[in-house]
Structure formats: structure tokens, C-alpha cells
Amino acid sequence: MTVFTGGPLLLGVRHHGPGSARAVRAALQAAAPRVVLIEGPPEADALIPLAADKEMRPPVALLAHVVDEPGRSAFWPLAEFSPEWVAIRWALESGVPARFIDLPATHTLAWGKDVLDQEDEPGDAPPAGPGRPVEAAVRIDPLAVLAETAGYDDPERWWEDVVEHRSVAGGDPFAPFTVLEEAMEALREAYGVGGHDRDLVREAYMRLQVRAAEREFGDGVAVVCGAWHVPALRQRTAVGADRALLKGLPKAKADLTWVPWTYRRLSRVSGYGAGIDSPGWYGHLFGAQDRPVERWMTKVARLLRDEDRMISSAHVIEAVRLADTLAAMRGRPLPGLTETTDAVRAVMCEGSDVPLALVRDRLVVGDVMGEVPESAPAVPLQRDLARLQRRLRLKPDALEREWELDLRKETDAERSRLLHRLRLLGVQWGEPTVSRGSTGTFRETWRLRWEPELSVRVAEAGVWGTTVLAAATARAEADAVAAHALADVTALAERCLLAELPDALPVVMRVLADRAALDADVGHLAQALPALVRSLRYGDVRGTDTRALTDVAAGLAERIFVGLPPGCAALDTEAAEEMRRHVDAVHGAVALLGETAAASAADASSLSGTAPDAHRTPSSTGIRGRWHAVLRVLAGRDTVPGVIRGRAVRLLLDEGELAQDEAARLMGLVLSPGTAPGDAAAWIEGFVGGGSGGGMLLVHDERLLGLVDAWLTGVPAEAFTDVLPLLRRTFSAYEAGVRRTLGELVRRGRGARGSTAVATSGIPGFAPDLDPERADAVLPVLRLLLGLHESDIDDDQVGDDNDLVGVAR
């Protein structure tokens, strides 16, 4: 092995290029330099030895963030096929020092505060991440110019042909770098630096670092950097001129560490322009020692077979042959991604782009996620999170996974608390979704997917505390004080219960009580109550004390009861519809609040030894009774919009507080000729619309259906056009079967609907009372379904066969 003695060995590369990575490894092996200088932040020199850790698995990234402002951060991603990673690994394996020589992160982070996010230059992917310091984009694409000069219309295709598919075995290992340097020098002479003013500063700093390394190690210096910078580093400028460019640069105290990265974040699909469209394909090219096309087609076949597609060995053979044929026809040295994709589409996907999209997502881009050893520096919050992830067996994964959590199990309950606490901190690792197969509060469903940017969010959240619990508590308290809307505070109270933050809840409740006392808008109060009452149910599942919430919710409900009737007067159509939604939400909240109060009263009675009814009357019954009184006021007040009056009547009817005869009377009054058609249509929408099950109500109550039918047929022609959109919206929300049944009932009973009163015998299937003979006919079937025999029926328990019908119901 001969030591390189021809001055600094400048290896210009394209970041994340497997061909460049192989060429760098061959050149370093041939030159055997005494030190390797790599484009990257010099503050990360202490982190280089971690690359040799057995737990370090690329893709990974260097994360730099401002200590006092973690949101200002930058990433330097590296994959196993990145030339910089190959250089680091070669240096560590060879016992040669490796150093980063780019402009320090302390300057780039301070510099990048007001820099726009623009496209990266080909051959030199700058740091990336939230608020990343990205220099101004070049006005030319060097690869595009070179490809066009060579007669290619696609820069990616040209790069693959001349670099990625080039073998260095048995050839000159320095030849590709010499040729690329000459090409870049010609481009820089023709186009200048392309508008990259900051490149001058970066290159001046790198030249100073190269000179320092030459003084220390002599001629045995190798430099791995973006090909665009090689001509500038070759120049011998005055040291004073370089230092002058660095004078007065802004600074910001920065911390650096290694974080996991993903193939998806290396691709342009994710919005990060790392210079490659296909990290999965490049990873395959770098890892395949021989026959890359055959091995790739085997991967594709395995993926499609896993998706239940019939792919045989013959498909693989024919796809390889087609790819080779396409490469020969197009004058390419080897099949590239374009040829393999065309072959896969034609042979394995039968010309369809649907399975081809799966191949691109899973293989061409890929879901590979790197790993970082525990010994890597991290903020205390990150360490606590990693400890919890290991203990709860929630491993971060780049592939989206769904978790079903049973909150009755301690481990699942802890997982739920962790995910909710992270959401409070702005770390959106998990997204709650609708549980399948169960609507109970003891079950939660989460979709988990770890993105590299979440490492920044964790570092940013570190200002709130050193543990997840402490940080979430502090963040919740601060958010409560800063919140302006009452609904925001109630939603925060619910999240505190979900995250089980007992220390934060008193602060949130105090702020909630203050906001509720000052807010006189009944709409705001009605919007805040449901979330607050919804929180009460978590006491049973999570063992949380919700008595303070119950008191505040009851007080909030009383204020709504007082303010709702005057607040519903003189509303326009849009405001009336919004208030109708508030009425629905309050109705559900009052029902739940009444159940909670009843349960609390039952607990109190069990402790005191008194009768349960004695405790229930002033709590649950009183709250619901007050609400029913409010609904009666809304139902009978003419100044209230029709959609709210109709909904109030419907809610009272559903609660059993209003007889069907009375509901029919109120509907008849509203649908009388003296009421404007628009008001009547709004009343109907409130009564039977809005997803309230009004369709089934009309199916089973022929009197109400007859009233609506008679009114609708009597609407004047000039008013019918105005009310039709409202009625169409109301009835189109019904299920198809309900609409079909209503149409059949109207058709059959049309002759009997001449007035607002409909004879019950006018519609087949309806009768004024139960028919005992018809009921007796179904008893044998009911006994069979229930697994009962006549001898099993106790007369004292059932009474008669009619009770059996009730049991079945």
C-alpha cells in the first residue's frame, strides 16, 4: 500500500451516490492518506468514533441545534452509500484520524435564521431540517449541464451511466475524480459560483482547515467534499484573504448529536432535496456485490408475492431479459432504474401502475430507518423518552403501525399516557384514531410513525423539563395560562386527564373557572362544555379523580341553561345552524353529566348507608330536569329559529319528556298554512335532520310522516323552489333503506293523506294496537333463538307469552 504524496487528495463526490461511495473507498484504499477531511460541521469531530459502534446503523444524521432555541436546527444525513460515511468508516477501520472541515454549525445555525428554504445544489447537499441553513440556490445545475453536453436529456440517467455503473476494479481509482474536477472547474469558469455568496465563506474556511492539516500531516491529506467545491479548494489563495471572509460571522451556541434517519427522508418525495429520488435503489446498488439487476428483480417479486400477486420465477427471468434488452436499445452500459421499472411494469405488473406504485414506495424509496447507540449525546428528555420506549416496548419505526391499547392493562395504559404526553409537548409520534370493534372508553387505537424531525421536537421540548412527565406538566400549565378561548382550556383539561398529569390539572381547572366566569358568550360556553364533561368518563377507566371537573362542569351547565334561550333569539340561518349544533352537544354533555352525578351520588350513598334515591334527586335528576325546562322554552318561543325549535321538540320527544300526541300537535301548528314555508322547512330539518335518526322516527310514526307529506304537497309552487334545497339536505342524509321505506309508505298511503290526520289503517303494516295472534306466531322462533323450552319458562318470572316478546326485545 503506497502512501499518497502528491499534495491534498481532493475527492469530489455527489452526496448519497453509491458510485461515488465505491470510488471514494477505492481511492482511499489506494492512497492510504494519513488524515481524512470530510465536509461537515467540525463540532461533530467528537462524534465520529460512534460511527464504529456496533449499534450504529445508517441511515443516520448529525443533528445540530441552538442550545437556547432548539427549534433552530440542521441535519447532515448520511446513508451507508454516502461517500462521507464510507470515508468515516474507512478512517476508523484504518486507524486514521477523520475530521469535519465545513463551516462550523455555530455560524451556519445563526446564519440560517432568515434563509429561505431553496433547492440544493447537485453534488453538494447542504444541511437539512426545520429551519435548516440552506444557502441560496445556484442558477445552474452542474449535472444537467454536463448531461446535456454528453447528449443526455436526463441528468440522473447520465450520472448513473458515467458514475454509478462504473467499476473501479482494475482501473485507475483517481480517474473519476480527476475528470469530475476538470468538469466542475470548467463550469465554474463559465458560470462563476452561480450566486452562491455563502460558498465563498464555506470554501475559505475549508481551505484554512486543509492548510492546517497539511502542516500537521504533510502531503498525506485526503479531502472528501462536494464536487462543486473541489476547484475552489485547489486554489492557493492568501491566508489573510480567507480569514477576512470569516471575520464578523454571526454565532449561536450549538449542540450536536447523532439521530436516526430514514430512506424516505433522503428522497425528494419527503420534501427534503437530498439529491436523490431513489434511496432504496441506491442502497441496493451499493450493497449488491454482483448481478444487481437479478437481485433487484428478486426483491420486487418477493414484495409482490407478499401482496398476493401471482409472480413466478419465469416473471423474474423475463423481467431481467427485458431490462437488459432495453438498456442495449438505449445505449446504456447496464440497466438503470428506468429500465428495471419499465420491465417490472410490463412483466410483473401487467402494464398497471397500481402495483408499480407499491414497488416504488416500498423498494425504490423504502422504509429503512437507522439506529443510534445509547452512548450518543442526547438531551435529558430524549434519554427519558428512550428509557420509556424500551420499557414499554414501543420501538420507533419509520413504517406506520397501528396499536390497539386496552386501558385496563397497566402496560397499555402507560403507553397511552406516554403518547398523550408527547402530543402535549408537540411530539406527534402517535395519532389517535377510531377503535375498531369496540366503542368503549377502555380501548384506544393509535397510528405510530417515527419521523426524524421528531428528534428536533424532543430537543425543543427539553426546555420544559428533563423527563416526559415533568415537561408535559410544565407545558400544560403554560398553555393553560396562555390560552384565550374557553374551549381551548377545556380541551386542555381533557388532554391533561388523558395524559394523567395530576399536578397540572389544578392549574388548568383554576384557569378554566376564571375563564368561564368572565365569558358571557353562551356559544363559547356551549362549545366548552362537551369536552369538559367528556373528560369525566376517564375517571372510571384511568382511575383519575374528576370531582373538581364535575363541579366546574355543573356550574358551566347552569350558566348555559340561563343564557341559551336569549342567546337563540334573532339568529340568521348560519348562526342558527351553528347554535343547533351547540344544542346537540350540550344535550349529550348533560346526559353524561347526569350519569356521572348519579354515579357519584351512588358512591356517596354506599359510604353513608343512605338510600341511593336520596342522593340522586338533587344531582342527576336536577341537572337533566333543568335542561328539559330549557328545551321546552326553546320549543315554544317564536323568536327562536325553526331549526332550533324543531330540534328542541325532537330532543324532548326522545327523552320521553314530550308525548307523541303533543309532538304531532306542535308539528301541525308549524306546518299550518300560516307559517312561512322557509320557517316550516327549517323546523322539519331540526326535528328529523342532522343525523338524529329522524328517518326511522318517520318510518315508525305514520302521523308525523303524514303531517310532513301533507305539508309538502301543499307548499305553493312559488315557495317550493326555495325550500327544496333545505329539504333535500335533510332527507338525503338518511340511509338508502330508510329513504326507500319512506317512499313506499308515502306511495301506499297517498289516498289516505288528504289531511293532517292519517288513519292508522291506511298504511299496510301498521295497527292501532298489538295483534296477539300475530305475536303468538313468532314465539316458537323466539324460543329457538333464545335456546328456551316451554319447561324452562317460569310463570313467576315471565308471566305470559307476551313477556317473552318483551324479553326478546
- pLDDT per position as a tens digit, 102-144: 999 998 888 764 433 333 443 443 333 333 333 334 456 777 7
* pLDDT the model gives residue 786: 79
CB distance 627 to 591 below 8 Å: no
* pLDDT the model gives residue 319: 94
Strand partners, 222: 9, 36
* pLDDT the model gives residue 790: 60
DSSP secondary structure letter of residue 657: S
| Cell numbers standing for residue 385 | 423518552
Sheet of 430-433: strand order equals 401-406, 443-448, 430-433
Residue 404 confidence (pLDDT) above 50: yes
Q: What is the pLDDT of residues 535-564, one digit of tens each?
A: 666 554 555 556 666 777 777 788 888 888
Q: What is the pLDDT of residues 310-345, one digit of tens each?
A: 999 999 999 999 999 998 998 887 888 889 999 999
Residue 563 and residue 156: Cα distance in Å, rounded? 67
Sign of dihedral through CA atoms 296, 299, 304, 310? positive
Residue 796 confidence (pLDDT) above 90: no
Residue 50 confidence (pLDDT) above 90: yes
* pLDDT the model gives residue 694: 60
Q: What is the pLDDT of residues 726-751, one digit of tens each?
A: 677 767 767 777 778 877 777 776 44
Residue 691 confidence (pLDDT) above 70: no
DSSP per-residue string spanning 445-504: EEEE---THHHHHHHHHGGG-SSHHHHHHHHHHHHHHH--SHHHHHHHHHHHHHHT-TTT
Average pLDDT over residues 176-203: 79
**Confidence bin at 376 (pLDDT 50/70/90):** confident
Mean pLDDT of the chain: 77
- Structure-model confidence comparison of residues 7 and 418, the more confident one: 418
* pLDDT the model gives residue 528: 72
* pLDDT the model gives residue 574: 83
Q: Which of 468, 462, 504 is nearest to 394 (CA)?
A: 468
Residue 664 and residue 657: Cα distance in Å, rounded? 14
Q: What is the pLDDT of residues 653-668, one digit of tens each?
A: 878 888 877 877 777 7
- Please give the single-letter amino acid code of residue 462: G
Q: What is the pLDDT of residues 623-633, one digit of tens each?
A: 888 888 888 88
| Cell numbers standing for residue 746 | 308515502
Residue 680 and residue 674: Cα distance in Å, rounded? 10
DSSP per-residue string spanning 283-336: HHHHH--S-HHHHHHHHHHHHHHHTT----HHHHHHHHHHHHHHHHHTT-SS--
**Confidence bin at 619 (pLDDT 50/70/90):** very low
CB distance 529 to 556 below 8 Å: yes
* pLDDT the model gives residue 598: 55
Q: What is the pLDDT of residues 138-162, one digit of tens each?
A: 456 777 777 777 777 677 777 777 7
**Confidence bin at 437 (pLDDT 50/70/90):** low
Cα-Cα end-to-end distance for the chain: 90
* pLDDT the model gives residue 263: 86
CB distance 442 to 408 below 8 Å: yes
